[in-house]
Structure formats: C-alpha cells, structure tokens
A and B are shown apart, each in its own frame.
Chain A
Amino acid sequence: MELSESVQRGLQSLADQSVFDHGSFQVLVDVSFRSLLSSHGDPTVLDQPEFKQIDQILLKQSHTAAVTFILEAVKQNADQSTISSSLEELTFSADRTEIFYSAYQKHKKDLECLLASIGRGLPHITDASWRLEYHMKNGQVDKINDSFYLISLNTENEGSSEDINFTCTVEQLQDLVGKLKDAAKTMEKASQM
C-alpha cells in the first residue's frame, strides 16, 4: 500500500509513544472507526477527555491519517501481512499493530458495505413477461399479417420496483437477445483474464 507523505507523518505521530499513550491510542482507533461508520457524521467526535493533553493539530493530523489508512486498506482488501508490514514500516509497535488490526477485522465488513454503497446504480431486471400480438387488419389496409411482441421487464432499483414496457418485432427481439448473449460472453472473457 502506498501512502502519501502527510498520511505517513500522521501515522508516525500516532505510533509515537510520547505523543499518544496507550489509552489515548485505543480511544483514537475507536473514534476513527466510529467516525467512519456512524450514519450521520458527528462533528464533535474528537472531543474525548483523553485527548486534552495532545496538541490539537497533531490530533487532527493523526485522525485524518488513520481514517485514510483504514479506507485504503478496505479498498484494497488488504490481508493481515500487508497491514502489519505497512504499520511496522511506520514504526508501530507490535501490540499497537495488534490493537489496530483487531479493530479493523471487527469493522471490515461494515466498511466494505459502506464503500460499496457509495455511487449510483442502474436498475436490475428481475422478471420478464411477454405477449404475442398478431395484427390482422386495420382501418387503412385490409390484410396485414404481422406479429409483434409486447414485453414487460420488471426491474428493481434500491428496493423499489417498476416496469419497463415496450413492443418490438421478432427481428428486434432477436437483436436484443443477441446483445444479451454478447454481454454474457464479454463477462465470461473478463473473468478469464
């Protein structure tokens, strides 16, 4: 994992025993995870009694660095060896690494869900129903023997479902099915890289 200069500095000051002693280190780790996971951001999250002794600018830097590191680790799905080696490079002692990693393990699933839910998504198709229509004649022409499909796709988006209705001829439907098959084949190819 490659971290920027400011994040490295913040983490190094977090590892420093003289700046953060054991209790305040634990509290900062908890606070960092909590500030990521709480559903509405809490502006006063750094207002803990253990932090009164620490220079506030340093506290902010360490908090930012810790939060960035956590997000980066969850993004890259880092395993224990990666995290431990990165922390040890930044002069973390073994027990602090242990504390950090156990907290990370506890909250990893929630953080992954959180990161995955940021963004936009298109509706998913869950069901399809069809009807075949046959035009025999209309007011202008006496004999049209033509068949149409009426397709209704049931889609679901973020829990709410809606229907997409359209009509198409047989050739257009074949085209659509061909495109779906192409899409499936592309996914197969992508998974075999």
Chain B
Amino acid sequence: MEEVDKILIHALKQVGTEVPEEINSVKQFSSELIVEAVVRCIRVIDPGLSSTLATSLPPGMSARFRVGMSLAQACQDIGYKGELGYQTFLYSSEPEIRSLLMFLVEKLPRESAETSDQPTGKSVVLERTIAAAIKAHLAVPWLPPKCRLPLNCETQRQGVMHSFHVQPLSLTNCTKGSSKRHTKGSPPTHGQPVQGVTYFPLKACLSVCVCVQQELPPVAKTIPTNHQSEGDVQLGQQEELAYLQQQFQQLCSEVDHLAVLDELKQRELRNSEKEEKIQVKKKTIDLLPDADNNLLKLQALVEASAKRVVNLASQWEKHRAPLVDEYRRLKDICSSKDSSKKLSEIKSLHEKIRVSTEEAKKKEDAYKQLVTELENLPQDASRSAYTQRILEIVSNIKKQKEEITKILSDTKELQKEINNLTGKLDRTFAVTDELVFKDAKKDETVRKSYKYLAALHENCNQLIQTIEDTGTILREIRDLEEQIETENGNKTVANLERILEDYKAIRQENASLAAKVREG
C-alpha cells in the first residue's frame, strides 16, 4: 500500500498539488487536500470540466456541499464507475479515496510516450543540434563591447569577414619524361629495336621545340606595346622575324642531323647481319676440300640432332600428358555443379555480411541517438525502482500462490483422512456393536462392556463435535476481526461527528437566511 501511495503522491505533485512533506499515505489526506488534488487532476485531464471548480473548499457548509456534488459529477463525467457523492470528498474513507485517486492518475495524459516516438531522421538530428547550439549561445550573458573577453569573441563580436575565393594550385611538371630518361641509361641490347633509341632524340627535340615555343611568347611580349612610331614597330617585327627564321633553320638542321644518324644506325645493323652471313659462308668454304668426310660428319650431326629433337619431343610429351589431364580435371571441377553452388553460397555470404554491417551501423547510430535522448529526458522518479518492486511483488504473489495450493492440497488430504477414519470408525463400531450385542443377551459383563462401548462412542462423538464447533467459531472470530478492521478504517465515528456539526451549521445558516428574508 505504501508504494501505491508514494506513486499517487508523486503523480499528484507533478500535476501541481502541494502535498506537505509529512504526508506519506492516502490515509492522512485531509478533505482540503483531497479536493485540491482531484480538481487539479480534472484540470489536466479535461480543462473544460474544471472551469467551475476551485482548488480550495469554501468555508460555508452549503457551499461545500455544492462543491462536493459538482466534483462528484465531474468525476463521473470523466468515467469513474464507483459510488460517488459529496460524502466521498467531505467525509472521506481511505479505500474510496485511494481508488478514486488511482483512477484519476491513470487518466492523466501520458506526455512521455509522445517524445519517444520522434523519428530519428537526419534532419531532426540536425535541428536538434542547431537548437542545442542556439541554447548554448543564449546562455552566455551579453557584455558591452568594451568589456568583452576573447572567450566571447566568437559569438558576440564579428571578426573581419572574408568572401570565398579560389586559389589555383600548381605542381612542378616532371611527368612521364622522367621514366623515359631512365631507359636511356641502359645500354641497348643486341636484339632491341632501334626505335627505343631513336624515340628519345625525337622526343628531346620535340621538348626542345616546346621549350622554345614557351620561350617565344615572352619574346613576343617584349615587343614594345606602346606605339612609339610605325618604323620602330616594323623594325622590331623584322628583328623578331629574323630571329625566328634563325631558330627554324637551326631546328631543321638538327632534324636532318638526326635523320642522318638514324640512317647510320640502320646501315650498321645491316652490316652486322651481312658480316654474320659472310662468316657462315667462310666456314663452309673451309670445309669444302674434305668434302665427303665433312658431308658425312655433317649428316651424322644432322641425324644426331634430329634424334635429339625426337627424344626431347617424346620427353615433353611424357610431361605434357599428365599436366593436360590435370588441367582438364581441374577445369571440370571448376565448372561442376558443386563448386558453382559453393561459389553462389560464398557470394550470398558476402552479401549477407555487407547487409549486416550496414544494419549494425544503423543500429549503432540509433543507439547513440537514443542514449543522447535518454540523457536529455527529464529525470523522473526512477522507473527502474518501480519495475523492481513490481517484479518483487509478482514473485511474492507467485510464492504465496504456491503456498496456498500446498495448503489446499494438505487440507484435502486431511479431509480425506478424516472421511476415511470416520468411515472406519462407523464400520468398526457397527461390527463391535453387533458382536457384543449378540453376547450381551447372555452375559452380564458383556452387557456392561456394551454399555461402556456405547458411552465411549457417544463421548468420542461429542468430542469430535466440540472440536469442529471450536474450529468454526475460530473462523468466525477471524472474519469478524477483519470486518472490524475495515470498519475502523472508515472512521465512521469521526465522520458522523463532523456530519452532525455540519448539520448544525447548515441549520444555523438556514435560520440566519430565513431571518434575513423576513427582515428585508
């Protein structure tokens, strides 16, 4: 009960009721406090209903009566399904007040549920950061310009503002020419084509041309732009023309020179080839005198080399065949269905990995956002404490349920035993009765023992009866005690006294009103 009361008092404090600190339970609520709490709750739940209600009880008794009736009416309009009347507010009883307050507190609109449904989109995040930044700037107090510290200069003073302009960035150009220069260093091997060597000189002269061209515009710029006189201009132009022609001649001669070099190199190559041929022919001429022998030898050589070729070919075949088989086998495996299935499985796994990393990222973002939201939420009375208590209560109830079922089963067992025993008792008594009665007609002692038996049976029955009666009476005592407790909670006596006093007060008011009416 205390936890319920604490939750109720906390909720009422949030609505705006001024609950004094020492009040810990609903039992201690006075009528004024009850009225104030109910009116504030009604104001929050339904502002239209509460327009006629004030938070404090008026002093006059009839006014109080009217206020009580209107409050009861308002509560019933909201939907309370219990008995309500002016007596619940003026002459309150604890259980009624508790149920009414619980109903009203449940009806209070839940503001917290709305804020948690806000979307976590990027624009919302941006707006929230903007709002936080504005809040931070607003919190800094404004100082007049003479008093400003450098700390405030960001937000309160403007530095020089720049406009946005572009700045080009350049690099020293040393591009692919560098790689070609490296090849120049390596000596041209025998078989290397000549183009490599010729390309460089051509490129060199081209780059020279380019450099020259780059030099030309500056030369052109040095032409006097101010029109001193026609003659001077013409002179200058002619000079430039002569200079350009000179350059051109130079370049042409260089190109020719290079072409000549080219020719030279090609001729040298051809010479070397021809030299080789000459060597071969010389050798054959040397071999000519001893023609037959040499011919035989040459033929043998040719045969031997042919055999060697055949040998090598067969060896190569030997090596080649298993490798080709291996290759075919691997190709089959590659293209077989198993591997293709595995391939597709691997692809799907990759896909799943990608998707799950994306989801994990999203969830992390959402988590970060929710953590910041949680920090920003107002710190209410701790929900975790309430949930803990609720869980404890639930476990307690479970335990109690178990105990109750155990007790019930015990009771059933006992009842069965009792029934068994009574049955056994009756049967035994019937049997002994018959037995003894048969003998009782003849023997005196048997008759006495029969009388004793009957008396014993009678007394035991009485005992059992008394025990049962005691049990019932004990139960009745317990019920009555409970009723006494609940009735005591109703404080009926105090309420009756107050009702009597209020009744007297109303009668007095009526009398005074009647007197006023008679007078005037």
Contact = CB atoms under 8 A, between A and B. Distances in A.
Interface stretch (B153-161, B204-212, B286-294, B403-411): B153-161
A191 B127 CA distance: 9
B145 interface: yes
Contacts of A56: 171, 173-175
B163 A118 contact: yes
Given A127-B144, A156-B145, A193-B127, A46 B169 contact: yes
A71 to B, nearest CB: 12
Contacts of A47: 171-172
Interface stretch (B86-94, B130-138, B220-228, B468-476): B130-138
B111 to A, nearest CB: 15
5 contacts: A187-B134, A191-B131, A191-B132, A191-B135, A192-B131
B161 A118 contact: yes
Given A46-B169, A56-B171, A193 B128 contact: yes
A147 interface: no
Nearest to A192: B131
Contact of A193 (B131, B158, B159): B131
A124 interface: yes
A140 interface: no
A159 interface: yes
B448 to A, nearest CB: 104
Consensus secondary structure, chain B interface: loop
Contacts of A44: 170
Interface in A160-182: 161
Interface residues of A, number: 33
B189 interface: no
A158 B158 contact: yes
A93 interface: no
Given A41-B167, A157-B158, A190-B130, 18 more contacts: A41-B169, A43-B170, A46-B169, A60-B169, A117-B160, A117-B161, A117-B162, A118-B161, A118-B164, A120-B161, A124-B157, A126-B144, A156-B157, A159-B159, A187-B138, A190-B134, A191-B131, A191-B134
A43 B134 contact: no
Contacts of A52: 174
Contact of A116 (B127, B131, B154): B154
A191 B158 CA distance: 22
A45 to B, nearest CB: 7
Nearest to B172: A47
A57 to B, nearest CB: 9
A187 B164 CA distance: 28
A19 B131 CA distance: 44
B520 interface: no
Nearest to A81: B368
A23 interface: no
A48 B172 CA distance: 10
B161 A159 contact: no
Interface string A62-102: 01000000000000000000000000000000000000000
A190 B131 contact: yes
A141 interface: no
Interface string B164-190: 100111111111000000000000000
A35 B65 CA distance: 84
Contact of A121 (B161, B174, B175): B161
Nearest to A44: B170
Contacts of B167: 41, 43
B121 to A, nearest CB: 14
A44 B169 CA distance: 7
Contacts of B175: 56
A41 B134 CA distance: 33
A193 B144 CA distance: 29
Interface of B: 127-128, 130-132, 134-135, 138, 144-145, 154, 156-164, 167-175
Nearest to B171: A56
A43 B169 contact: yes
A161 B158 CA distance: 12
Most central of B138, B157, B164, B171 by chain A CB within 10 Å? B171
A126 B171 contact: no
Contact of A113 (B131, B132, B159, B163): B159
Contacts of A35: 169
Most central of B130, B160, B162, B169 by chain A CB within 10 Å? B169
A21 B73 CA distance: 84
A60 B171 contact: yes
A139 interface: no
A15 interface: no
B165 to A, nearest CB: 9
A172 to B, nearest CB: 25
Nearest to A124: B158
A47 to B, nearest CB: 6
A59 B131 contact: no
Contacts of B135: 191-192
Contact of A158 (B134, B161, B168): B161
Nearest to A154: B145
B316 to A, nearest CB: 40
Q: Which 9 A-B pairs have the closest CB atoms?
A: A41-B167, A193-B131, A191-B135, A191-B134, A43-B170, A121-B158, A56-B171, A191-B131, A126-B145
A188 B139 CA distance: 11
Most central of B156, B164, B167, B168 by chain A CB within 10 Å? B167
A20 to B, nearest CB: 16
Nearest to B137: A191
A91 B83 CA distance: 73
A3 to B, nearest CB: 15
A159 B157 CA distance: 8
Nearest to A63: B169
A161 B146 CA distance: 12
A19 B169 CA distance: 21
A161 B154 CA distance: 18
Contacts of B164: 118
Interface string A120-163: 11001011000000000000000000000000000011110100
B169 A113 contact: no
